[in-house]
Amino acid sequence: MADRLNLREAQRLLNLAVEESERRGVRTAVAVVDARGDLIAAARLDGARYYYPDVAYGKAMAAAMWEADSSTLGRGTGTNTVQQRVNSMNGGRMVFAGGAVPLRRGDEIVGAIGVGGSGPESDEQIARFAASALDA
């Protein structure tokens, strides 16, 4: 098993996503989860809507648990009965919409980062930007 994602790494990725959101002039929320989809770190930019952190977390959870970008999941895979059941088992928190990417070390998923608030394409670009720095 690859090294687990730790708090320091999660905070660094979170900060990169916050900085990229600020650079773009968008008010987002960012969530970083471990490989199981459990929350490690989250932030809501000033002025972002109150529910954006839950959306970012839900996107990240889905990306980590299903080991796929949330944009791929948003194209219909979230409707299969297994994913619906797993989502139900997790309180319906997963969000099957663009804006999150898995965090990988080699072939291992160590977590995911999700962004909510600037639209699916922009959210995913911000998440990818931050994710690219995982082992940089």
Per-residue pLDDT of 69-89, as tens digits, reads 988 888 776 567 888 888 889
Is residue 2's pLDDT more than 80?
no
Task: Report pLDDT for 82.
Answer: 82
Going by C-alpha positions, the residue among 100, 132, 129, 134 that lies closest to residue 29 is 100
Is residue 1's pLDDT more than 50?
no
Task: Report pLDDT for 119.
Answer: 95
What residues have CB less than 8 Å from 104, skipping those under 6 apart?
110, 134
- Domains of the chain in start order, with CATH, are 7-131 (3.30.450.150)
- Range name among 25-34, 52-61, 86-95 with the lowest pLDDT average: 86-95
At 107-116, the pLDDT tens digits run 999 999 999 9
